[in-house]
Amino acid sequence: MAPLLKDELDIVIPTIRNLDFLEVWRPFFQPYHLIIVQDGDPTRTVMVPEGFDYELYNRNDINRILGPKASCISFKDSACRCFGYMVSKKKYVYTIDDDCFVAKDPTGKDIDALAKHIQNLLCPSTPLFFNTLYDPYQEGADFVRGYPFSLREGVPTAVSHGLWLNIPDYDAPTQLVKPRERNGRYVDAVMTIPKGSLFPMCGMNLAFDRELIGPAMYFGLMGDGQPIGRYDDMWAGWCVKVICDHLGLGVKTGLPYIWHSKASNPFVNLKKEYKGIFWQEDIIPFFQAAKLTKECDTVQKCYISLSQQVKEKLGKIDPYFVKLADAMVTWIEAWDMLNSKDSKEADANGSKPKGK
């Protein structure tokens, strides 16, 4: 059983609607504090079911808190959720989409996704050598013959990437080609993504250690006024993985599953993804080749270095990447502004956002 990390974990939810989906999560989420990031029209009221402890930020709040630096937070795109990562004061963050429900394991039991994420984050990762029996720290598993003993202590886990039953996280072309495909395969495994290997990180069901990797969890410039959408979590995942590899941190994927209830519109998605489909062909080799020097010994320094490389190398593809590189710097400035020692003290005495 994973411990309840009540005072150490926030749940971040981006939304444009009433959070009725929380009802099914009540047994699992109610002990935790929620940070709700309201996207779109700030005058709309987002209803939160009774009994949840939450704070809610709309666009006006984001603009007020960050001032000119609010430009780094996307609007009309779920990428806005990363504002929640920034204002959290907890060690861990779990973020989930509001169309994700409680999945069942093969025995028919409700899956406590959050408890599994906590378990994943609290036990080490093994990025330096592949273990064929998956996570060696799980009950009933271990390192197999031939696994170097010097590597069995593992490294701290920074990210736990959970998966989805029912509607898989497909891109628009795949959605169009396979409109009826559903994910019914329950794979009973958690594994570390090896060092040097990039992966497509989905923000639907994702937990991470803010203290270890928070400043790299920037979801980029997406949506309103931007040429691209639906690459927010991918962008974060590429940056995060390169930095985790450099700093000796682990990224896990696999369990837990959530139940993803409905596919987004593939035509709308195609419009959002269109440029990304071309750009990712250059972005991925770029991240595969990105180098961080020994001087980059904090997440912030790594991230600033990546932003410079983005500007220099990807800026040639499209002026968007120059803007994104600048936003990456602004994000770090904003992060540090809200997460410095002084800001924490001010926060302790300062004005509270909406919520209860």
Interacting residues with a copy of itself (CB under 8 A): 106, 129-134, 138, 140-150, 161, 163, 168-171, 173-174, 178, 181-189, 193-202, 230-231, 233-234, 237, 253, 273, 277, 280-281, 284
- 146 or 350: whose CB is closer to a copy of itself? 146
Minimum distance, C-beta of residue 36 to a copy of itself, in the bound complex (Å): 24
Complex with a copy of itself: residue 71 or 269, whichever CB lies closer: 269
Q: How far is the CB of 332 from a copy of itself (least distance, A)?
A: 23
Choice between 130 and 267, CB closer to a copy of itself: 130
Find out whether 208 and 244 touch, Cβ atoms under 8 Å: no
- Min separation Cβ 265 and a copy of itself, Å: 14
Nearest 5°: phi and psi at 96? -145, 145
Considering the complex, state which of residue 29 and residue 137 has its C-beta at the smaller distance from a copy of itself: 137
**Cis upstream peptide for 256 (omega within 30°):** yes
Q: Tell me the Cα Rg of the chain.
A: 20
Q: Minimum Å distance from CB 178 to a copy of itself?
A: 7
What is the rounded distance in angstroms from the CA atom of residue 14 to the CA atom of residue 307?
25
Query: What tokens appear for 328 in the block?
Result: 């990456």
- Of 226 and 253, the one with the shorter C-beta distance to a copy of itself is 253
φ, ψ of residue 211 in degrees (nearest 5): -65, -35
Give min distance, CB of 45 to a copy of itself, in A. 31
Cβ contacts of 45 within 8 Å, gap of 6 or more: none
Instruction: Give me the phi and psi of 18, to 5 degrees please.
Output: -70, 145
- Closest approach, Cβ 115 to a copy of itself, in A, equals 18
Which burial class, exposed, middle or buried, applies to 68 when counting CB atoms under 10 A from its CB (0-12, 13-18, 19+)?
exposed
The Cα–Cα gap between 35 and 55 comes to 5
Smallest distance, a copy of itself to C-beta of residue 186, A: 7
DSSP for 90-102, please give it: SSEEEEE-TTEE-
Rounded Cα distance, 89 and 339, in Å? 8
* Nearer CB in complex with a copy of itself: 105/318: 105
